Amino acid sequence: MLEVVFEKDGVFLHTSAKRQQDQDSLIPGVIRIIEKTSDVVVQWMPVNEIGDAPQIVYSKKESPGNVVCRAEEDLYDPGYEPDWAVISTVGTRARASEEIPAPAVKAGPRGKWAFSLSLSELKSIRKNKPGLGWSYLIFMTKDGVSIQALHFHHGGTRALLKALSKYVILATSPKDSRLYLVYSHDSYALSHSFDELQLFDDNSSHLVSRFLQDPYSATFGSFSKVTNFFRGALKPHDGSQQRPLSEMAMGLEDEPGFEVITCQANLGDRPSVQRQLAVTEQEWEKHVDADGRVSGVEDLKKRIFTGGLSPGLRKDVWKFLLGYYPWESTSEERKVLLRRKTDEYFRMKLQWKSVSEDQEKRNSLLRGYRSLIERDVSRTDRNNKFYEGSSNPGLVLLNDVLTTYCMFNFDLGYVQGMSDLLSPILYVMQNEVDAFWCFCAFMELVHHNFEESQEGMKRQLLQLGLLLHVLDPALCDFLDAKESGTLCFCFRWLLIWFKREFSFPDVLQLWEVLWTGLPGPNFHLLVACGILDSEREALMSSDYGFNEILKHINELTMRMSVEDVLCRAEALHQQLTACQELPLNVQEVLGLAKVKSPTHSTESDGSPQPLSPSQTQELELTDSVSPSQPDSSIEILPTEDTATPQSLSP
């Protein structure tokens, strides 16, 4: 049995930020709340076509591969190469088994955008900043994926949130007033968890009274995480006895069950760093004995970190840096290793080379990989002489190595962007086998960038934001005010290690520096911080908006000096490591402290302030209806053919 308890039309999907006036860029639809026999769902469908049911249903019962959703980092328009916003992989997508009938919707180019989301799987709802174009809402699921932003051209967000509050608790996140965390109406579980905290004392009678009057509000306001709100609720009535916030934060650093309140660290002056000359062939030979063993490895790595390598050394030294050759191996041992690795490579290559056309017709996965690789290879570094021309042998090698990698790593296969990581390696090695194994070693370092869940990318963006908040709070405040606090414009930087941001020779130098693993883990995040540090004045003094920031960052491509950026990054690292009061979470990112527990989502940290049904009308959930004003929310959505992987434009 189905019952529609809420319905609102004039709810649009914006499928292209660059074609605001085009017919296909704005898809009108209707949003509904539907009560089912054992569940409540939120459903959106296009309304200007007639006849079919939604094809996108988010349900935990379905396998992740059957869900057509995007991660939170995808909800932006980078202003260039929109394909970088989504990591495209080759796979099959089955139609959801359970669909809600909707006679007014037709299967067609627009019908595929329809979706149905169970409230039991809803984690949070994000609302736009008031006064900026049409109001929009973004639904985030518990599995960490975001549904397309819904734009309410005729208002209605307040009414929808009020209707949702009948079924779930909407709690304002203490870290973001526009983010509402979703909790179920399970008063027993809430009360029970609250009792176990044992927070009451002689000075907290006002909190007890507040709990009795509004158990939801008091429970969420007094969860085990220590926040400003929690301390305010439990502080003694005599304000003179209150300890300074900084002292309280330091005192709780090692107390289990509590979250450290990060105070502003005094970083001190930033040191001046100068790059050194590159390691020469003569310097390298001094570290190689008669048997071919490399000695003084740590000193060599430090020299490579501070100066890079002479071009003539890269073909040999990169094999050591990437772990293809063990540092302690002799020349003879490396010859034996090379023979074994050559045989292994060509056995894998023969696997796909021997597939007949008839076989490939019935192997959609291999067919998809080969099509995607062929398309990417045709536009990878074509300005480089090694890859220019229509019948260049370098292109054939690039194609063969990438396809063989699919045989080597079946789980990951080929994902767009990998061609950019292989291209410089193949250029340096000038050898198919060596390039393959060096590429495999590189992928061991960055494979999490290409996983379909994008958890690795989300984690790195969060870590980058953490570093930037300590290094430059003013810049973070500026970016937050301009709807750029997620650092989404850094997505491509981290995905392929700045491959498209610097010139080809500079990329070679940057990568060999990063491969040393010095001065600690995640130095590539400090490289990103160095770039932002060099552009902070240009960004903040020009009062850029969201789109202008994206445009400015994009225009930095090929205009930056890798030497300058590396100097800044190293100076930032020295400045952070010299700080005596560096927050523990920052120390963990830099490898200065052992990670005690996995990083938790920022959406669930802190004590949320609940939006109970009685408070819904009082909350400022204002709808801004300005059809003539461009919307500040820009998202990248799939192309018309959702089965076709997106491409990476050069």
Domain ranges of the chain: 1-49+111-183, 187-222, 268-310+453-593, 311-451
Which one has a higher pLDDT value, 334 or 642?
Answer: 334
Reported confidence tier of residue 227, pLDDT bands at 50, 70, 90: very low
Higher pLDDT, 393 or 84: 393
515/506 Cα distance (integer angstroms): 14
pLDDT of residue 238 exceeding 50: no
In sequence order, what E strands does 362-444 have?
none
Q: What is the pLDDT of residue 176?
A: 80
pLDDT category at 130 given cuts 50, 70, 90 is low
Residue 42 in this model has a pLDDT that exceeds 90: yes
Mapping DSSP to helix (H, G, I), strand (E, B) and coil, where does residue 133 land?
coil
376 contacts 647 by C-beta, under 8 angstroms: yes
Poorest-pLDDT segment among 205-219, 276-290, 364-378, 411-425: 205-219
Q: Which residue has the higher pLDDT, 266 or 561?
A: 561
Mean pLDDT of 300-314: 98
Least confident of 15-29, 92-106, 448-462: 92-106
588, containing H or E segment: helix 584-589
Lowest mean pLDDT, pick from 108-122, 249-263, 442-456: 249-263
- Pick 322 or 189 by higher pLDDT: 322
Q: Which residue has the higher pLDDT, 127 or 443?
A: 443
**pLDDT at residue 264, as a whole number:** 63
Judge if the upstream peptide bond of residue 630 is cis by omega within 30 degrees of 0.
Answer: no
Report whether 390 contacts 469 (CB < 8 A).
Answer: no
Among the listed residues 117, 69, 73, the one whose alpha carbon sits nearest the alpha carbon of residue 93: 69
Of 17, 135, 165, which Cα lies nearest the Cα of 614?
A: 165
State what percent of residues in the chain have pLDDT above 70: 67
3-state secondary structure at position 339: helix
CA distance 105 to 47: 6
The answer on pLDDT for 77 being more than 70 is no
pLDDT at residue 567 tops 80: yes
For residue 129, count CB atoms less than 10 angstroms from its CB and return exposed for 0-12, middle for 13-18, buried for 19 or more: middle
Selection from 63, 81, 144 nearest residue 495 by Cα: 81
The whole-number pLDDT of residue 254 equals 35
Tokens of 463: 């870590």
Fold: same for 268-310+453-593 and 311-451: no
- pLDDT above 60 (res 182): yes
Alpha-carbon distance values, 17 to 23, 139, 243, 636 (Å): 12, 19, 50, 8
What average pLDDT score do residues 430-441 get?
Answer: 98
Separation of alpha carbons 60 and 76, rounded Å: 26
Distance between CA 432 and CA 53 in Å, rounded?
50
Among the listed residues 197, 58, 47, the one whose alpha carbon sits nearest the alpha carbon of residue 111: 47
Specify whether the CB–CB gap between 513 and 450 falls below 8 A: no
Q: 3-class SS at 172?
A: strand
- What CATH code would you report for 268-310+453-593? 1.10.472.80
Contact 345/617 with Cβ under 8 angstroms? Answer: no
Coil, helix or strand at residue 260 = coil
Record the tokens describing residue 611, joined without a space.
């939006």
| 1-49+111-183 is classed CATH 2.30.29.230 | yes
Backbone phi and psi for residue 52, each to the nearest 5 degrees, phi listed first: -135, 175
Inter-CA distances, 642 with 120, 123, 417, Å? 27, 25, 19
Check pLDDT > 60 for residue 527: yes
- Let me know the angle formed at the C-alpha of 148 by 609 and 419, rounded to the nearest 5 degrees: 115
pLDDT of residue 613 exceeding 80? no
Residue 20 has pLDDT above 90, yes or no: no
2 — pLDDT class (breaks 50, 70, 90): confident
Q: In this model, does residue 216 exceed pLDDT 70?
A: no
Report the chain's mean pLDDT, rounded to a whole number.
Answer: 76
**Most confident segment among 252-266, 371-385, 621-635:** 371-385
In this predicted structure, the answer to whether residue 377 has a pLDDT above a threshold of 80 is: yes
- Nearest in space to 414 (alpha carbons), one of 451, 369, 376, 453: 369
pLDDT at res. 48: 61
Contact present, 136 and 128 (Cβ < 8 Å): yes
What span, in angstroms and rounded, lies between the C-alpha atoms of 451 and 434? 25
DSSP 449: G
User: In the structure encoding, which two tokens stand for residue 14, read together?
Assistant: 């914006």
pLDDT for position 186: 52
Correct CATH for 311-451 of 1.25.40.10, 2.60.120.380, 3.40.50.2300, 1.10.8.270: 1.10.8.270
Higher pLDDT, 576 or 39: 576
Question: What does the alpha-carbon distance between residue 61 and residue 528 come to, in Å, rounded to a whole number?
Answer: 39
Question: 596 falls in which pLDDT band (50, 70, 90)?
Answer: low
The whole-number pLDDT of residue 642 equals 37
Question: What's the count of helices (H) and strands (E) in the chain, helices before strands?
Answer: 23, 13
**In this model, does residue 220 exceed pLDDT 50?**
no
Residues 6+ apart with CB under 8 A from 100: 2, 34, 41, 43, 53, 54, 116
